[in-house]
Amino acid sequence: MAFASRPSPPAPSRPWSCASPCAGSTPRPFLGPRGIDPALLADDEARIRDLLGETQSDVAGRLLLDPTLSVAEIAALLGFSEVAAFHRSLKRWTGFTPKQYRVERRGAVPSGLASP
């Protein structure tokens, strides 16, 4: 039994594009003739790094309010390979070291741990 061959799909008129989720935005070229556009990739990487930093900062603040967690445990939970790297990042984000942050925020209850 012979299978009928299907016609191949038409070639795209432009390279693949990545559209922003914003309404009314126009798609921007993602792949060029030589692969991924490095400038666009750098923009995306910067946005991802910023988002990761904001998220880590927020979660670090909440975890530091839990006195049962050590700074080393918090650093590991946030994906830091060393406590010193977490220490520097927290200082950059908040202006406080982990110990200073805990002293300044003593008495504050993290939203996830508040009793009803």
Q: 31-72, pLDDT tens digit by residue?
A: 666 666 677 777 778 888 888 889 989 999 999 999 999 999
Look at residue 47 in the predicted model and tell me its pLDDT: 86
Phi, psi at 26, each rounded to 5°: -100, 145
CA angle (35 as vertex; 16, 14 as ends), nearest 5: 30
Q: How far apart are CA 55 and CA 79, in angstroms?
A: 12
List the one residue out of 115, 76, 77, 83 whose CA is nearest residue 99. Answer: 83
pLDDT band for 8, please (50, 70, 90 cuts): low
pTM for the model stands at: 0.57
Q: Which residue has the higher pLDDT, 13 or 44?
A: 44
